[in-house]
Structure 1
C-alpha cells in the first residue's frame, strides 16, 4: 500500500535567530523563530510523514508547550518520526519540498539540504526534491517577514 502526506509550515524571520533549512545552517541577518531550532523545512518533512500514516500532527507528537522540545534539533524530530514509520512497516519512496524565502538565495545550499534529508529518511538523494522560490517582494515572504515550506511525501509498505 502507498500513502501520501502533505504539510505546510510558516515561521517568522527575526534578527538574532539562526536560519536552519533542512538541517543546514544558512548565513543570514535573520533567522527562523520557533519553539525548537526553527527549521521550517524539517518541520514539514516530519509532518508530511506524520500525515501519511494519519498519526496526528507535529504539535500533538512534539508539543510546543513542552520544555523537552524547546530548542531541540529538528533532525532528531525527523528521526523519531522515521522510527514510527519503520515500526509500522513503511519506508519513504520520495519527497518533494518547496522553500518560500525572499533572501538569501538557496541554490548553493540545496545539494547539501537534499543529502541531509535523504540521510534522515534512509533514501538516496535522487528521491529528494528541494526547490526554492521567492515571494517576488510581495506578502510576508516578499517583505522578508517569514519563511514558508511545503512537503509532499510518498511512503510504501511493499
Structure 2
C-alpha cells in the first residue's frame, strides 16, 4: 500500500471560467493557470503520482509547454490514471478538501465526484470531496484564490 498527498492553489481572476473537478461552476471569476487552473484535478494528480513514486504533474505536463495551454485538466487526470495503472497500481480511494470563501461549492460536489471518479475508473464512493472556507484569513479567506488538498491510497496490482 502507498499513500500520496497533493496540493494546489490558483488565483481567481475575472474573465476566466471556474472549473473544479471538470465541472463548470457559475461564478464571476475563474482560476488563473496555464491550463484551466482546476486545483482539484491538479491536487489529485499529484497525490496519485506521489503515491506511485512517479514525478509530479509539472514533469508530465510542463506549464510552459504550449500544448497544455488552457487544457482541460480532467483530460490530464485521465492520462495520470492510465500512468498509475501502467505502473502496476490500483486506486483504493482519494479524499480531497477544497478551500474557497466563494462560491459555495456544496451543491456541485456530487457532479465533481461523478466526473473525477469516471476519469479514474472508480466508483464515486471511492472519491470524496469536501469543501470549507479559510475563515476570512489570508488570500484564500479574502476570496482571491482557491486551493485543494488531496490524499490517495494505492495498492499494488501484484
Q: Which residue of 2 aligns with 1:83?
A: 82
After superposition, residues 41-120 of structure 1 pair within 5 angstroms as 41-120=40-119
When the two structures are superposed, what TM-score results if normalisation uses the length of structure 1? 0.96
Match of 1:29 in 2: 28
Verify the 8 A CA contact 2:52 2:89 in the aligned structure 1: no
Q: 1:91, CA displacement in angstroms?
A: 1.4
| Runs (5+) with no aligned partner, structure 1 | none
Which whole-Å CA distance do the structure 2 matches of 1:65 and 1:91 have between them? Answer: 31
**TM-score relative to the length of structure 2:** 0.96
SS, match of residue 155 in structure 1: strand
Q: Distance in 1 between matches of 2:130 and 2:89?
A: 25
The gaps in structure 2 that reach 5 residues or longer are none
Q: CA RMSD in A?
A: 0.8
SS state at 2:107 partner: coil
Q: Secondary structure at the match of 2:106?
A: coil
Looking at structure 1, the residues matched to 44 and 145 of structure 2 have their Cα atoms a distance apart, in angstroms, of: 18
| Corresponding position of 1:20 | 19
Instruction: Give the Cα separation in 1 of the matches to 2:79 and 2:64.
Output: 18
Q: What is the SS of the residue equivalent to 1:118?
A: helix
Per the alignment, in what secondary structure is the counterpart of residue 41 of structure 1? Answer: helix
Shift, 1:89, TM fit: 1.7
Name the count of aligned residue pairs: 157
Distance 1:76 1:125 in 2: 18
TM superposition shift of 1:79: 1.1
Which residue number corresponds to residue 127 of structure 1? 126
Whether the aligned pair in 2 keeps the contact of 1:92 and 1:122 (CA below 8 Å) is no
CA distance in 2, matches of 1:93, 1:120: 14
Between the aligned partners of 1:59 and 1:37, the Cα distance in structure 2 is 14
Instruction: Determine the structure 2 residue equivalent to 1:9.
Output: 8
